[in-house]
Amino acid sequence: MLFKIIVVGKMKDRALEAHVKTYMTRLSPYAKIEIVELRDSNPENEGVKILEQLENEKGFVIVLSEEGVEMTSTEFSAKLMGLDRKAVLVIGGPYGLADGVKKRADLLLALSRMTFTHEMARYFLFEQLYRAIMIGKGKNYHN
Amino acid sequence: MLFKIIVVGKMKDRALEAHVKTYMTRLSPYAKIEIVELRDSNPENEGVKILEQLENEKGFVIVLSEEGVEMTSTEFSAKLMGLDRKAVLVIGGPYGLADGVKKRADLLLALSRMTFTHEMARYFLFEQLYRAIMIGKGKNYHN
């Protein structure tokens, strides 16, 4: 699997950052992951930079947004495993995403109906990517 | 506000445990929180112990379960703020919850359609409790 993950802003929470890194390490035998970390400013400027990154992108673009559809982990796994191309995942900054980015998405995905911090979303997403691969491989995974 | 939070098992993830403690500290000016940590064993035994805790409980019992209803953070805040009694929140262990506990719930709540670890759920819930109070007080909160 190929993943490209576009994030806005550095993680300030060192503990969550460490957890994200742990999942990257766990994912490494199964997936090649490219991380693009864009500087945070405001949703409009961030949107321009994200769209630049997506301009010639042939991958399947999944944008995290509270307005998106929800999936179970099993559905998310099936979606990722069924792709014949790179999965490009976009997580905005603390102040949300420009509409243009949401419109560019092949899939607008909500992790929850609840609002939580974008750093938690980053951690949550990496855990779901790992979970998706474990589900796809039929492996047990509880922790 | 009065919260009683019934959890199963000690947190093994020290970083997430520290985050939970941070939210407990942040909540302390607004809410009195009692934590009941039950020993983990298996869902049946855990269920018996949880139901013992709930036997003479007059509070409003919210049980976290993937089968539950979802709410936005604003809806969750309104629900909590509208209670005229203690909110009792129950989070099961890594292997799920006995049916009897789910049936005892006044509200069966799903944090997400996705599955994640029960330690993440604990962290997520504390963040949502703090967020609920900030929303209820009309305070801005992004982090």
Positive or negative torsion for Cα A91, A93, A126, B119: negative
pLDDT at B142: 61
Tokens, residue A88: 């490009």
Record the tokens describing residue B66, joined without a space: 């993937």
Measured between alpha carbons, how far is B45 from B138 in angstroms, rounded to an integer? 41
* pTM for the structure as a whole: 0.93
Nearest to B50 by CA among B107, B111, B102, B110: B102
Which of B113, B135, B143 has the most A C-beta neighbours within 10 Å, making it the best mutation to test the interface with A?
Answer: B113
Q: Hey, what amino acid is at B49?
A: K
Q: Residue A142's pLDDT is what? A: 61
Say if the Cβ atoms of A143 and B76 lie within 8 Å: no
For residue B120, the chain A residues in CB contact (below 8 A) are 123-124, 127
Helix (H) or strand (E) holding B89: strand B87-91
What pLDDT does B139 receive? 87
Choose among B18, B111, B143: nearest Cβ to A112.
B111
**B residues 28..47 contacting A (CB < 8 A):** none
Query: Which ipTM was obtained for this model?
Result: 0.92
Largest CA distance in chain B: 42
CA–CA min distance B142, chain A (Å) = 6
pLDDT tens-place string over residues B36-78: 999 999 999 999 999 999 999 999 999 999 999 999 999 999 9
Integer Cα distance of B95 and B118 in angstroms: 9
Interface mutation target, options A113, A118, A141, chain B, most CBs of B under 10 Å: A113
All domains of chain A in start order, with CATH? 2-47+58-136 (3.40.1280.10)
Convert the pLDDT of each residue in A110-135 to its tens digit: 999 999 999 999 999 999 999 999 99
Q: Sort out which chain B residues have CB atoms less than 8 A from A113's CB and list them.
A: 70-72, 112
Residues constituting chain A: 143
pLDDT of residue A143: 54
Question: pLDDT class for A94, splitting at 50, 70, 90?
Answer: confident
> What is the Cα–Cα distance from A136 to A27, expressed in whole angstroms?
13
